[in-house]
Structure 1
Amino acid sequence: MKMMRREILSAAALCAAIQGADASPIDISNELPNFFGGGVGSTTEYAGGKDRIVGVVPGMRYVTGSGHLFEWYGTYAQYNFGSLSGFQWGPALALRLGRRDVDDPVVSQVHSVDTTLEGGGFVGYEYSHAGDIPYRLRAEVTVVTNAGVVYSGARTSLNTSAWFPVHRRVFVGGGLGATWVSGGFNETYYGVTAEDAAKSGLPLYTPGGGLNQVTGWLAAIYQINPSWYAGAMVYYQRLSGDAADSPIVTQRGTRNQLTYGVGIAYAFR
Structure 2
Amino acid sequence: MTLLRSTLPRAGALLLALACVGSTGCITMTVVDNVQRRNAAREMEAARQRRIAALEPAAAAGDAKARVALADELLAGSGQDPAELRRALALLEQAAAQDDGLAMGRLGTILAEGRAGTYFTLPQGLRDRERGIVLLQRAFAHGCDLAGVGNPAGRAGLALARAGRPEQARIWHARGILACGASSSAYLLWEATGAHIEPARRADALAILLLARDTETIAKARPSVSAEDFAAAERRAAELQRQIAASERDYPGPQRKEQP
**Fold shared per TM-score above 0.5:** no
Bigger Cα Rg = 2
Larger RCO, structures 1/2 (Cα 8 Å, 6+ apart): 1
Q: TM-score, normalised by structure 1?
A: 0.20
- Looking at secondary structure, tell me which structure has more helix per residue: 2
Give the TM-score taking structure 2 as reference length: 0.21
Which has the larger strand fraction? 1
